[in-house]
Amino acid sequence: MTRVRVATRASELALAQARLVASQLERALRVAVELVPLSTQGDRLKDVSLAKVGGKGLFVKEIEAALLDGRADLAVHSAKDLPAELHPDLALVALPERADPRDALAARVRGQGLDALARGARVGTGSLRRAAQLRALRPDLEVVPLRGNVPTRLRRLEAEGLDAVVLACAGLERLGLAERIDERLAPERMLPAVAQGALAIEGRRGDALARDAEALDHAPTSCCVAAERGCLARLGADCFVPLAAFAELEGGAVRLRALLAAPDASKLLRAGGAAPAGSAAALGASVAERLLADGGHALLAALRDDA
């Protein structure tokens, strides 16, 4: 039986996600899968703002290097960690079916949702996107910067006297921690990150195994992520940008909503649109253009100056 080496980050969540994909590869391709866990620069910089040290690429550089030098045959990523542009010799070959894309609120007092938190409550998040939307929804809250893996963030909820933390539903579910979710925040209130809840399989462009791995692709997920990443690419956004983009299929069309914000929520730009599913990436670019025309150029310039 062919052995396939799959590169992944070494965090608990990344390994859980890679095991999910490994089992799908084994069933679909009749291969044996060996995980190749790697520590990325983003994992090592636990208490540093990613926006100040290189952004999303910090979670993929070492993994892509393993693909390029032959230490791995495929790679599994959280799709929301991927920068807008990939290495030219690599490609996203499949996106399995997306998990719950929503954000989750985990409260210290079990059962409390966002609206039930007391005035002045301390809410932890490591995401500028979440922080901006929290401030817009509840200006009275104290938003506390928070990094670390999912279990660490949940522990800090108690250890640091936080009233709640906001995480991804998908990550909690994949770690068997779905019961820790006190509220699943509807996209109408908290628009998700680009590709949140989706996993991405990356391979060497033109490689036979990469073509075989396309069997794991879930077409509706790929369509929605293409729209969201189209918006990301046109804006040239990274971790320093509070950007949200969420696409849904409605019949044969894809509908995209996007938000670009100032970190302090002093400005929130929203745009949306719909297009045939075959034009998903172009839809993302056109929605980004609307954001730029509505003040996005100036907002992005200010964000880059502050980063």
Which of 233, 143, 145 is closest to 195 using CA atoms? 233
- Write out the catalytic residue numbers: 81
Token couple for 194: 């680009």
Q: Are 240 and 303 in contact (CB under 8 A)?
A: yes
Token couple for 224: 């929605």
Q: Read off the DSSP letter of residue 299.
A: H
Token couple for 293: 């025309």
State the Cα angle at 190 between 166 and 245, rounded to 5°: 110
- Give the orientation angle of helix 280-291 with respect to helix 219-235, to 10 degrees: 30
Query: How far is Cα 193 from Cα 255, in angstroms, rounded to an integer?
Result: 15
**For residue 162, what are the CA distances in angstroms to 51, 141, 152, 307?**
23, 11, 13, 26
For the four alpha carbons of 226, 230, 233 and 237, in that order, the dihedral sign comes to negative
Pairing of strands 32-38, 243-250: unpaired
